[in-house]
Amino acid sequence: MGGNFALGYLTFMLEGALWTVGLSLIVLAWGGALALVVALCRISGLAWVRTITALYIQLIQGTPVLVLIFLFYFGLPTLLGWSLSPLLAASASLSIYVSAYLGESWRGSIQSVPKAQWETAECLGLSRTQRMTRVILPQAIRIATPPTVGFMVQIIKNTSLASIVGFVELVRAGQIVNNTIFQPFAIYVLIAALYFSMCYPLSLLSRRLETRAGDKSYA
Amino acid sequence: MENLDFSVVLSRWDMILQGMYLTIKLTLISTFFGFAVGTFCAIGKRGRTRWLRNVCGGYVEAIRNTPLLVQIFLVYFGLSSLGLPLTAVTVAAIALTINVGAYSAEIMRAGFDSIERGQIEAAETLGLSRAQVYWHVVLKQAMERVYPALTSQFVLLMLASSICSQISAEELTAVANFIQSDTYRPLETYIITGLLYVALSLLLRAAFWLLGLMLFKRRRKLEAFA
């Protein structure tokens, strides 16, 4: 193996890792907002809203994230007439991917709030909106927290695909460094280690929250 | 805004079919071997040998907490630095197997844990060895209980196999990349590709559902009584 792994390369890759975190947070925020809409539409009183949302979820869950990214980065500009930056294309497509998976997971959390809670709220004369915001969602958030923290790991891992359209996050930063020193195996080991150090704490936290939620179960 | 024209993409149906064939092949091969790896790993994780428990646990955590893209490149550059003359497809199949092995291990472990202690104790009392207990008593029941989770994981694997296009394994996504650069019709190409993946995942789900009916006949009979 030739070449030196200078400190400059390491800082460059750490900057890339910071972008991985940044992109993950953007995707979590936008994807989470969309997911809430998806979850509420899935339990809407209107049948056609439920059907369309179910179809949306089926379509997104049946398409690879990579194809979604390509669709936004290469496909959308031909429709819009202007090009999307890698950051915009990646965050938009990843948010849509997140909305389908997290939306379906959150729908489950909302529906697993015991039926008596819905009925009691109705008996107390709360409107549908009040019932949702004051009674159901606060309890659903508690149920949804462990799987959502677990899903953060999926988000972080999937941001690596943004490297393919040229967004300089951790993987792309590593590839750029590799172009100068050509030690692909060592660099990918380092990339993997950095991803592990970001994802493993979240995995542990999700597992701990899950066991704690199990103790407090009242359903 | 120009008009959508799907015909130029669809006229390359022979390439698309070849890509789909490779996607299915990669999925089935890595599902089969990955499930085997995962099952042994789950058994190892629950075993009495400490170092084996640590190795299996470490493998599962390492794979589950790193991106598949990085794993594929690691296998690709790792095996090529060993000087093994492997094709991109073989490398892809190995990487996908390693990946899905870890996820199946976690699912199968949950399945094994769900088997009541009484059954295992009864089997041990009858003089069955540990291997026999796993084979005759635990394995099929555990599989039956986690079958839905397993099949979802295998469908996710099929979708994730799209990432193998990055080491130029000519599966569906790689074919799509070629077609879009050839026709300058990226939107149409990726819409069709996306829909084909949706179709493939529905097909795969249907196939696993049928396989489940064949594998777990007992449950069907029980349902007939209910």
Number of H helices, E strands in chain B: 11, 0
In-domain check, residue A219: no
In-domain check, residue B1: no
pLDDT at A3 over 70: no
**What pLDDT is stored for residue B156 in this prediction?**
96
Structural domain containing residue A56:
7-211
Cα–Cα distance for residue pair A181/A67, rounded to 1 Å:
31
Domain count, chain B: 1
Nearest to B70 among A70, A78, A188 (CB): A188
pLDDT tens digits, one per residue of B15-51: 999 999 999 999 999 999 999 999 999 999 998 999 9
Cα–Cα distance for residue pair B162/B176, rounded to 1 Å:
10
In-domain check, residue A1: no
Per DSSP, the three-state class of B100 is helix
Structural domain containing residue B93:
7-225
Instruction: State the CB neighbour count (10 A cutoff) for residue A10.
Output: 12
Q: Mean of the per-residue pLDDT values for chain A?
A: 92
Which of chain A's residues have a Cβ under 8 Å away from the Cβ of B180?
A: 70, 74
CB B186 within 8 A of CB A75: yes
Cα–Cα distance for residue pair B155/B22, rounded to 1 Å:
15
Instruction: State the CB neighbour count (10 A cutoff) for residue A112.
Output: 13
Q: Which amino acid is at A88?
A: L
Q: Dihedrals φ, ψ of A49, to 5°?
A: -65, -45
**What pLDDT is stored for residue B221 in this prediction?**
59
Domain count, chain A: 1
The alpha-carbon radius of gyration of chain B (Å, integer) is: 21
Nearest to B162 among A61, A66, A80 (CB): A66
Cα–Cα distance for residue pair B180/B175, rounded to 1 Å:
9
| Chain A to chain B Cβ contacts (< 8 Å) | 117
Q: Kindly state the average pLDDT of the residues A113-126.
A: 92
pLDDT at B216 over 90: no
Q: How close is the nearest chain B Cα to the Cα of A80, in Å?
A: 7
Residue predicted with more confidence, B157 or A7: B157
A99, A58, A98: which is closest to B205 by C-alpha? A58
Is the backbone of residue A11 left (phi > 0), alpha (psi -120 to 50) or beta? alpha
In-domain check, residue B2: no
In-domain check, residue A216: no
In-domain check, residue B217: yes
Say what percent of chain B tops pLDDT 70: 95
In-domain check, residue B142: yes
* CATH number of the domain bearing residue B139: 1.10.3720.10
In-domain check, residue A32: yes
B72, B149, B47: which is closest to B106 by C-alpha? B149
B29, B36, B46: which is closest to B164 by C-alpha? B29
pLDDT tens digits, one per residue of A27-85: 999 999 999 999 999 999 899 999 999 999 999 999 999 999 999 999 999 888 889 99
pLDDT tens digits, one per residue of A142-183: 999 999 999 999 999 999 999 999 999 999 999 999 999 999
Q: How close is the nearest chain B Cα to the Cα of A77, in Å?
A: 8
CA distances, A89 to each of A23, A60, A93, B169, B198 (Å):
11, 16, 6, 24, 21
- pTM: predicted TM-score of the whole model, two decimal places: 0.91
**What pLDDT is stored for residue A219 in this prediction?**
42
* CATH number of the domain bearing residue A160: 1.10.3720.10
In-domain check, residue B30: yes
Judge: A75–B186 Cβ closer than 8 Å, yes or no: yes
Q: Is B153 on the interface with A (CB under 8 A)?
A: no
CB B49 within 8 A of CB B201: no
In-domain check, residue A105: yes
In-domain check, residue A218: no
Which of chain A's residues have a Cβ under 8 Å away from the Cβ of B200?
A: 62
Judge: A66–B163 Cβ closer than 8 Å, yes or no: yes
